[in-house]
Amino acid sequence: MMREQWHMLYNTAAAFLSYNTSIRKGLHVCFNTYDFFPQIINFYMNMLMERSKEKGLPSVHAFNTFFFTKLKTAGYQAVKRWTKKVDVFSADILLVPIHLGVHWCLAVVDFRKKSITYYDSMGGMNTEACRILLQYLKQESIDKKRKEFDTNGWQLCSKKSQEIPQQMNGSDCGMFACKYADCITKDRPINFTQQHMPYFRKRMVWEILHRKLL
């Protein structure tokens, strides 16, 4: 797609989403820079949840980008009302975007595999995040289900750099986190590379414009 044509698509998307200033700004950032607004990640995660309703796909619940930071800094009591109308235990997969200052990562709870896995496009390890999420599940079960959460057989791990695609710059972490989530929620291998990022950015604007994942 020629750059001029792409700018036309971006402008159309921005106009279509003019009611939501944060999303519109996020689209501008997604295309014109290498940063990601939390609102863009939230919008994309919501589309992943919607897609998970399709037959043959694992059911998905995605937490807000502010969830993990709040949980880590303020504890369970600060976030327990966030799932007042949601049964997280009914999902196959929980997606947890994690923001580390200027870097986006992803944690995934898979109830089918009894696993909590951390994905970092810069190779970071974060066992603490996995432990925090396991503790969250224990507290959530007591609060919402009135029963202990059985942690027997659960595994916590961080993916090593050689196990998942890694970014070759300091700015594509948000897109990597989103595409990890995209592959995982389709039960497909994570096999993209840094070279796919320009295309993925353009594709994401199209998906947000049409509110449909390709």
User: Which residues are within 8 A (CB) of 160 and not within 5 positions of it... i.e. 6 or more apart?
Assistant: 123
Please tell me the distance from the alpha carbon of residue 214 to that of residue 207, in angstroms, as a whole number.
7
- pTM to 2 decimal places: 0.86
pLDDT tens, N- to C-terminus, the chain (214 residues): 444 444 544 454 454 445 455 555 545 555 444 456 788 999 999 999 999 999 999 999 999 999 999 999 999 999 999 999 999 999 999 999 999 988 999 999 999 999 999 999 999 999 999 999 999 999 999 999 999 999 999 999 999 999 999 999 988 999 999 999 999 999 999 999 999 999 999 999 899 988 999 8
pLDDT of residue 22: 52
Cα angle 155, 73, 126; round to 5: 35
**Annotated active-site residue in 30, 173, 178, 182:** 173
Active site residue 30: no
* Domain 3-210: CATH superfamily, name plus number: Adenoviral Proteinase; Chain A (3.40.395.10)
pLDDT of residue 100: 94
Amino acid at site 90: S
The answer to whether 185 touches 60, Cβ cutoff 8 Å, is yes
**Annotated active-site residue in 28, 35, 92, 103:** 103
Give the DSSP H/E element, type plus range, for residue 23.
helix 21-32
pLDDT of residue 135: 99
Domain limits, the chain: 3-210
pLDDT of residue 171: 85
Active site residue 120: yes
Active site residue 150: no
* Pair type for strands 60-62 and 93-99: parallel
Give the DSSP H/E element, type plus range, for residue 9.
helix 3-16
**Annotated active-site residue in 30, 120, 130, 172:** 120
